[in-house]
Each structure stands twice: as structure tokens, then as C-alpha cells.
Structure 1
Amino acid sequence: MPTIELVACDMAGTTIDEHGDVYRALHTCVVETGTPVTDENLQTWMGADKVEAITALLQLGGHPADETTVRACFDRFRSLLRQYYQETPPQGLPGVEQALRTLKERGIKVALTTGFSRDVAEPLLESLGWAVGEDELLDAVVCSDEVAAGRPYPYMIHRAMERTGVKDVATVAVAGDTIVDAQAGAAAGASHVFGVLTGKLTSADFDGSGVTEVIGSVAELPERL
């Protein structure tokens, strides 16, 4: 098994406890248009690029997903998320920050990938004091609006490899709390794809998604690797 050079983790629900506010904001911004949203469809699109998720949820609910409606929903999503984060600030999940620091101390690059756009992700990371740099917690952050398509496509993982100078995808480990996180890791060709149970899924939910192992938390990664 190749030595791991890069760990790429999802943000909300995987490394960051944002109290389910992304789930709530995504649900609310679509339902406010009069479009029904099932829990199953919402969970399917969690972790995906949020514009793509809104478009899909509108279509699944029988609402025209024209550009104007999608843009209005996305603006509402961002507004709701800012409001929720002000009311209940996000926190790093227990043990995760130390685990990421341990990986960096071992010489492993640490990247975060997210279905958020850059303008949503940066204030969230700043509020936690998580920054990119040689002496910082992270080596790269890749947002869904910086690639051709978000999850389940592998492009954010490949962009993280570019930004950290990692050339062999067999040396990459991916961790996430949603099905599309796992699918993106498998599509990228990562040697380790961890399904993480700090979100809303059970171990059984990850069956067939491409995970190589299910773990309770990203805090376990140093021992698993």
C-alpha cells in the first residue's frame, strides 16, 4: 500500500460541526418557493455544489429550475446560513483539529474540499481560525465553484492534489460524511475512502458508495493511516 501523502476531507459534518445548519438552510430556501423536499432527496444532494443541489431539488419537487429561481434560492441559502452561523457559531468536531495537526506533523498534506462556494467557505474557516499555510492547519482548501463540477465528480480532489504537489492519486485518502463524498473519492481513484459517521448517515448507508472503510470521526484518521 502506497504511503499516504495527502488527506482530503469534507468540511461541514466531517471536520466542522455546524449544527445541521447547511441541511436546514438548503431545505428552507427550496421549500420557500413552494417546492416539496423529501428527506431522501435532501440527503442525496448534501455535500454537492449548492447551486447544483438547489437545481436538482427544485426539479425533483416539480418546480421550474430556471436561472433566476436558482440564483434567488442560492442567495437565500447564503443569507440563511449567515444568520444561522451568527446565532450558533460552527465549531471543529471533537478531536479533529488535533488529528489534522498530527497528520501534518507526519508530513502528510491536509486539504479541505467543500460543496460551498469560496465566499461561503472562507468566513466559516476564518471563524474557526483555520488557515492555509506551511505553519497553519491546512495546506489547501478547494471549493465547488473552483472546478468544472462538484461532487460526485472527482475534480476537487484532483485540484487539491495540484495545490499540494501530490502527483499519485494512490497516495491520497479521502474522508466525508455523505454519499457524494465517498463517490467522489472513489471516482478520483483514492486508495482510502473513509465514510465518516459524524453526519446523518449510518454505516449501512455507505454500502455501495465506494468507501473502503467507515469510521466514527476524522479524529480517528491518524491511527487508521
Structure 2
Amino acid sequence: MLKALILDWAGTAVDFGSRAPMGAFVEAFARFGVAVSIEEARGPMGLPKRDHVASLIYSPAIAPRWQEAHGSAPTEADVDRVLAVFEPLNVEVIPRHADLIPGLLDVVTEARRRGMKIGSTTGYTRPIMEKLMPLAASAGYAPDNVVCAGDLAAGRPSPLMMYRTFADIGVWPPSACVKLDDTEPGIAEGLAAGTWTVGLALSGNAAGLSKAELDRLSPDERAALRKRATDKLAGAGAHFVIDTVADLLPVLDAIEARLAAGLRP
């Protein structure tokens, strides 16, 4: 009964830990004389990148730093200036953060065997994705569509990118679709569009660690990190929360059972 699996990109399908944007945000603000930590930069992850910059620059913590560095409060023109620096920095680091997340290809292959389409939405802009898509395709991952931040009048947490995906790949109703994402805005996007939503606790922004860093954690540290990330994503409304995309197939079975019982998202 499920017709489509719609995936986010960084932290969901590629770039374990969603690390590519972080250094770019920190460096972009540093070039304007404003210090931003990795933890602060992660806060708005999942939003379209201009909205992400705006969320940072106007935040109660960072806005005073901007005013101190520039002698005036940040403006929309400043948001555009930071974004113009950020985007090429992010494009530059993409090749170092384009590895597929383990288990992705097996899940996509099985979903296609079940007759599902594979859609995608992202908070990345089109120029960033033009760098990333060929790298992912060369590794074997090429979804049926890609909708980027900036393609439409509004991005996450609105449902517009999901609506475009439904139209692009020819699927409906939303209740026959599953949205997979590692951020709260990405979960909100799926909920707004009426799909089932699955959060990823350990492969993306909610944990923020590379695969190697995650593997070095003790069992207790890993469990604590999983709980924090799961609470965050469940609090955003995710119907299910799993560690990584590799754990998705039993969830698809569970959703099929709910649909067969007449339940909807």
C-alpha cells in the first residue's frame, strides 16, 4: 500500500552526522567577525539555508555579537551577505561529505522492489545539490526527483517541497508516503504534507557525530545520545524514530500494517 519513500539528503542519505554545512556556517560568520559555535550552527538545521542563516543572525545569542562587530543590528541585507559567503564554502566541502550512509542502497533497492518511488527534498540550495547529486549517483544513489530549498516560494517546515515531490513522481495520497529525515523541520515538513514521518536519531543532525566518532562511544554514551536525539525527534512529532536508514524496513512493514487496519498518519 505504500507508494513512496521520500528522503532528506545530508544526515539521512549521505554525510553521516550531517557535517558538511557546519564548518561552512562557522567560517562564513567568522569572515564577518562573528564567532558561531558548531552547536549553535546545528540549531536550525533542516531549514532552507537562507532561513538557517537568518535564524542564526537574529538569534538572541548571536545578534549582539553581530552588533558588536558591525556597530548595528543585523538586517536582511546582512543575511544575504552571509549566505553569499556560505554557499560556495558548502559547495567546496561537499566532496568530502558525500559518502552514502550504510544501508541506504539496500533499503532503496527493497523499497523499489515493493513498487515504491524514491523522492527527495533538501534544505540545500540547487548549486549545492548540483555538486552532490553526481557524486551520489556515481555511488549508486539516484532518487526519482530532487526538490531543493529555493525551488519554491517556501521550504521547510512548509509542505510545498513535498507537494512538488508528489507531483514529480506521481504519487498520492500522502498517507501512502513515508518521509525520512534527521531534523525537526524535516519532520514538520512531512507532517504538514500528511505523510508518515520517520526520524533518524544517530546518523544526522540530532547526534552530529561521524560514523567513526559514534563507533568510539561506550554503550552507555551511545544510549544516552540515542535517547536525547529520539526525544527531540519524537517531540517534533515523528511517528517512528530509528537509528539510521539501515533500520527502516521493519518500520515500512509496521506502517503497512497500520494502513491495512485503516489507520492514517
Query: TM-score category by the smaller chain?
Result: 0.7 to 0.9
Please report how far the alpha carbon of residue 78 of structure 1 lies from its aligned counterpart in structure 2 after TM superposition: 2.0
Of 8, 11, 14, 2:9 maps to 11
What secondary structure, in the 3-state scheme, does the structure 1 residue paired with 2:58 have? helix
Aligned to 1:196: 200
Distance (whole Å) between structure 1 residues aligned to residue 74 and residue 121 of structure 2: 26
Summarize deviations over 1:69-108 as a string: whole Å, max 9, x none. 223322221222233234x251100010221122112110
Aligned to 1:208: 235
Distance (whole Å) between structure 1 residues aligned to residue 150 and residue 92 of structure 2: 22
Bigger helix fraction = 2
Of 245, 249, 252, 1:222 maps to 249
Aligned to 1:94: 102
Runs of 4+ in 1 over 6 A off after TM superposition: none
Of 131, 150, 157, 1:145 maps to 150
Alignment of 1:35-184 (within 5 A): 35-37=34-36, 41-60=40-59, 61-62=62-63, 63=66, 64-86=73-95, 88-129=96-137, 137-184=142-189
What secondary structure, in the 3-state scheme, does the structure 1 residue paired with 2:156 have? coil
Identity of aligned residues (%): 27
How many residues are aligned here?
218
| Higher radius of gyration, 1 or 2 | 2
Please report how far the alpha carbon of residue 40 of structure 1 lies from its aligned counterpart in structure 2 after TM superposition: 5.6
Report if the CA contact (8 A) 1:175-1:194 is conserved. Answer: yes
Q: Which amino acid aligns with 2:151?
A: E
Please report how far the alpha carbon of residue 145 of structure 1 lies from its aligned counterpart in structure 2 after TM superposition: 1.0
- Classify 1:80/1:176 alpha carbon distance in 2 versus 1 (closer, same or farther; 3 Å): same
Distance (whole Å) between structure 1 residues aligned to residue 39 and residue 92 of structure 2: 25
Whether 1:33 and 2:38 are equivalent positions in the alignment is no
Normalised by the size of structure 1, how large is the TM-score? 0.87
What secondary structure, in the 3-state scheme, does the structure 2 residue paired with 1:175 have? strand
Summarize deviations over 1:95-142 as a string: whole Å, max 9, x none. 1022112211211011111011111112201012169xxxx8411111
Please report how far the alpha carbon of residue 66 of structure 1 lies from its aligned counterpart in structure 2 after TM superposition: 3.2
Distance (whole Å) between structure 2 residues aligned to residue 42 and residue 28 of structure 1: 11
Summarize deviations over 1:33-90 as a string: whole Å, max 9, x none. 233435565333111100111112111121444344223322221222233234x251
Normalised by the size of structure 2, how large is the TM-score? 0.75
Please report how far the alpha carbon of residue 25 of structure 1 lies from its aligned counterpart in structure 2 after TM superposition: 1.1
Query: Unpaired runs of 5+ in structure 1?
Result: none
Report if the CA contact (8 A) 2:234-2:241 is conserved. Answer: no
**Cα RMSD between the aligned structures?**
2.3
Distance (whole Å) between structure 1 residues aligned to residue 173 and residue 113 of structure 2: 21
What secondary structure, in the 3-state scheme, does the structure 1 residue paired with 2:189 have? helix
Q: Which amino acid aligns with 2:144?
A: D
Query: Unpaired runs of 5+ in structure 2?
Result: 67-72, 207-228, 253-265
Aligned to 2:19: 20
